[in-house]
Amino acid sequence: MTLLAVRDLGVDFGGPPIVDGVSFSMKRGEIVALVGESGSGKSVASLALMGLLGRGNVTGSAILRLNDGRETDLARISSRERRGVLGRHVSMIFQDPLSSLDPIQTIGAQMREVLSLHCGLRGGKAQARAIELLHEVGIVDPQACLKLIPQRLSGGMRQRVLIAMAIAGEPELLLADEPTTALDVTVQAQVLRLLLSLRARSGMGMIFITHNLAVASSIADRVIVLYAGQVVEDAPADAFFAAPAMPYSKALLGAAPGIDSVFGARRLPILRGQVPAPGERGVGCRFAPRCDAMRPTPCQTQMPDLLNIADGENEVHAVRCGRWEELAR
Amino acid sequence: MTAPVLSVQGVSKTYTQRAGLFGRPSQTYALRDVSFDLRAGEILGLVGESGSGKTTVGRIAMRLIDPSEGKVYLAGQDVTALSSTALRPMRRRIQLIFQDPSASLNPRQTIRQILRTPLRLRGITDDTEIARMLAIIGMGADALDRTPAMFSGGQRQRLSIARALLMNPDIIVADEAVSALDVCVQAQVVNLLLDLRDQFGLSILFIGHDLGVVGLISDRIGVMFRGSLVEIAPSRGLFERPRHPYTARLLAAAPRQGGKLTPHAEVDAGRLSPTSTEGCAFAALCSHAITECRTTRPVMRETAPDHWTACRRADLDLRPAHC
């Protein structure tokens, strides 16, 4: 069952597109990692889905199928409708929990506001539900936690509180933008495990935005790689890590030293150049100027399509590379 | 063997805290009895989570802050008690690279002005060394008349490395110097630091939290936990056969490409309990702790050649499960 179908999503701010024809779909309960370097468009794409861009032109569609069968297009939803969807059906957590929380209100006050807005709970019922939610995200002493201001909590606990607020409305889709990037590795592992267990319990789907492929591997069912505003590879996580098809994906994987593979090689493989700015893209493949496998034709002359190269039916392993077949051999 | 270029011996840093206005003052340890040597031409990694004291170690090594106890030696000379005037000629020898190059390069100065400052401090007036240094970091002379804002994050970090190198230092302290960079750019800067070490025989104290990066760049790695150095060993030995339970936990928590986590709701133990002043700092979280661990501070012991650990449980086999 499809939860979200994004078709040809584009975002521009009056100039060349920052997000350019992004299409993907995800199933109910699926965790999709959106990965890419800075400037790849991953955060802009997700903010567009949430209607949080503020300005900018959004084109294309992003159809969200709700549990009750209703459909809503996140790309062209009115701000009034959005109020009914955000927090209840779709919610979001960010990298820095401290800047998402009000520093002078207690956790209790902030949670009660969320519960009143999204669930219509007030008074003792809101209090009880807040305690239940904090318990669910693994906070040992929820009662005490509710009385604290955010500053009194550790980074991991703050992120847990935000997750508790995000799941208060039992959303079908959670957008998580680098939610563990600011956390220490041991805390990161705890938060990732928490997200996995919440998914297992509630069947909530998740778009997990990260620049860290090892983190993506830890949590995701699918990996979608963005480069210069486009999807360049979209694959099941197992297939992606076993045999990435797009040269850019391979370069990204090679550039991040894993802790199992750091010895022997005394240098890291280098990907030269940088992501082209939106105004500096050529007509061909946007990765071509940096690609070791580049051939003048077709790479520089023609923008490759995003092709599905999966063997099985109903499977998706899409890649945007004019030479993927030769390179796979 | 020659004297280590930098030696930190028994360094502690304490802060006095008072519970309320009339409360009794109590000592909080930011660092507790930390000792290590940085050898000539070596890259020594320091890892640990936030609050473990790794940055404080770097600052004390540079004498930017003073230790409460212990000594710092630069090339065999005790610099712990030197006045700031007496310290000046020594400062050149040890340079710092920060995490955020956009905050450490003056946005109003051109690259030429920025790179001339270290030369001026050394009394050099001509620019030939600047051109040579730009070539080393892989940039052209056209960079000179631009301001930092016109460069990408990776280029800016290379420029701040160039500025540090123009002081002609023996030691570089790189505090999370690649953490803010994208992976591909991070790889370039890591390789550059390795090249510089090989070319100039620099010694580098590389402070980081990404175990993969620290493991690749470092010859040896020190692991810090709540102000204590709990293990220090050659990188490969540390990764393949950690001897301290905290190191093992850190390695197990590091995400891996191709690895998967299982859902499991762990509880957050909440705010950190104050570090026990008596026993091992890790004892409260350690599944291998015995009574002695909670009552007596462990001492560093050598468990394999050059492999030191502050864990008294010599009987543990902490080899990571995935190996």
Dump pLDDT digits (tens) for B100-159.
Answer: 888 889 999 999 999 999 999 999 988 899 999 998 888 888 899 999 998 888 889 999
| Closest CB to B187 among A189, A259, A269 | A269
- The residue-averaged pLDDT of A69-83 equals 89
Nearest C-alpha in A relative to B269: A140
DSSP state at residue A152: G
| Within a domain: B265 | no
pLDDT of residue B272: 47
pLDDT of residue B50: 83
Residues 124-153 of B with CB under 8 A from A: 152-153
- The residue-averaged pLDDT of B289-297 equals 91
Q: Is the pLDDT of residue B270 over 50?
A: no
| Within a domain: B160 | no
| Within a domain: B308 | yes
What chain A holds in terms of domains, given with CATH numbers, is 2-220 (3.40.50.300), 230-328 (no CATH)
DSSP state at residue A296: I
| Within a domain: B300 | yes
Q: Is B266 on the interface with A (CB under 8 A)?
A: yes
Give residue A167's region: left, alpha or beta (phi > 0; psi -120 to 50). Answer: alpha
Question: What is the domain extent for residue B250?
Answer: 242-254+277-322
Q: Is the pLDDT of residue B250 over 50?
A: yes
Question: Would you state the structure tokens that stand for residue B312, as one six-digit string?
Answer: 């008294």
User: Chain A interface, mutation test: which of B268, B272, B322, most A Cβ atoms within 10 Å?
Assistant: B268
- The residue-averaged pLDDT of B227-238 equals 95
Counting residues of chain A whose pLDDT is more than 90, the rounded percentage is 66
| Within a domain: B101 | no
- The residue-averaged pLDDT of A139-161 equals 91
Q: Is B285 on the interface with A (CB under 8 A)?
A: no
pLDDT of B271-282, one tens digit each? 445 555 688 989
Residues in chain A within 8 Å Cβ distance of B151:
none
Q: Give me the residues paired with residue B36 across strands.
A: B8
Q: Cα separation of A32 and A209, whole Å?
A: 8
pLDDT of residue B263: 82
Type of residue at A19 = V
Q: Is the pLDDT of residue B90 over 90?
A: no
pLDDT of residue B321: 61
Residues 182-241 of B with CB under 8 A from A: 182-188, 190-191, 194, 209, 211-213, 215-216, 235-236, 239
Q: Cα separation of B12 and B54, whole Å?
A: 12
pLDDT of residue A50: 87
| Within a domain: B200 | no
pLDDT of residue A95: 85
Length of chain A: 329
Domain count, chain B: 1
Q: Is the pLDDT of residue A261 over 80?
A: no
Query: Could you count the other beta carbons within 10 Å of the beta carbon of residue A31?
Result: 21
As a whole number, the mean pLDDT across chain A is 91
| Within a domain: B316 | yes
Residues in chain B within 8 Å Cβ distance of A38:
153, 182
pLDDT of residue B100: 83
User: Chain A interface, mutation test: which of B194, B216, B246, most A Cβ atoms within 10 Å?
Assistant: B216
pLDDT of A1-60, one tens digit each? 899 999 999 999 999 999 999 999 999 999 999 999 888 999 899 999 988 887 889 999
Of A111-115, A268-272, B6-10, give the lowest mean pLDDT range.
Answer: A268-272
Residue A221 and residue A45 in contact, taking contact as beta carbons nearer than 8 Å: no
Q: Please indicate whether, in this complex, the C-beta atoms of B253 and A200 are within 8 angstroms of each other.
A: no
Residues in chain B within 8 Å Cβ distance of A213:
183, 257
Residues in chain B within 8 Å Cβ distance of A196:
261-264
Q: Is A196 on the interface with B (CB under 8 A)?
A: yes
pLDDT of A96-110, one tens digit each? 888 889 999 999 999
Q: Which residue has the tokens 């955000």?
A: A86
Q: Is the pLDDT of residue A287 over 70?
A: yes
Residue A202 binned pLDDT confidence (cut-offs 50, 70, 90): very high
Q: Is the pLDDT of residue B323 over 50?
A: no
Q: Please indicate whether, in this complex, the C-beta atoms of B182 and A37 are within 8 angstroms of each other.
A: yes
pLDDT of A165-185, one tens digit each? 999 999 999 999 999 988 888
Q: Please indicate whether, in this complex, the C-beta atoms of A251 and B250 are within 8 angstroms of each other.
A: no
| Closest CB to B267 among A138, A215, A257 | A138
Q: Cα separation of B257 and B148, whole Å?
A: 34
Q: Is the pLDDT of residue A270 over 80?
A: yes
| Within a domain: B306 | yes
pLDDT of residue B271: 42
Q: Cα separation of A212 and A195, whole Å?
A: 17
Our CA-based measurement puts residue B88 at a distance from the nearest CA of chain A, in whole angstroms, of: 35
Using alpha carbons only, what angle is made at residue A271 by residues A269 and A276, rounded to the nearest 5 degrees?
170
Of A234-243, B32-41, B178-187, give the lowest mean pLDDT range.
Answer: B178-187
Q: Cα separation of A165 and A134, whole Å?
A: 9
Residues 149-178 of B with CB under 8 A from A: 152-154
Residue B246 and residue B282 in contact, taking contact as beta carbons nearer than 8 Å: yes
DSSP state at residue B139: -
> What's this model's pTM, rounded to 2 decimal places?
0.89
- The residue-averaged pLDDT of A282-300 equals 93
pLDDT of B32-88, one tens digit each? 999 999 999 999 999 998 889 999 999 999 999 999 999 999 999 999 988 888 888
Residues in chain B within 8 Å Cβ distance of A190:
266, 268
Nearest C-alpha in A relative to B153: A38
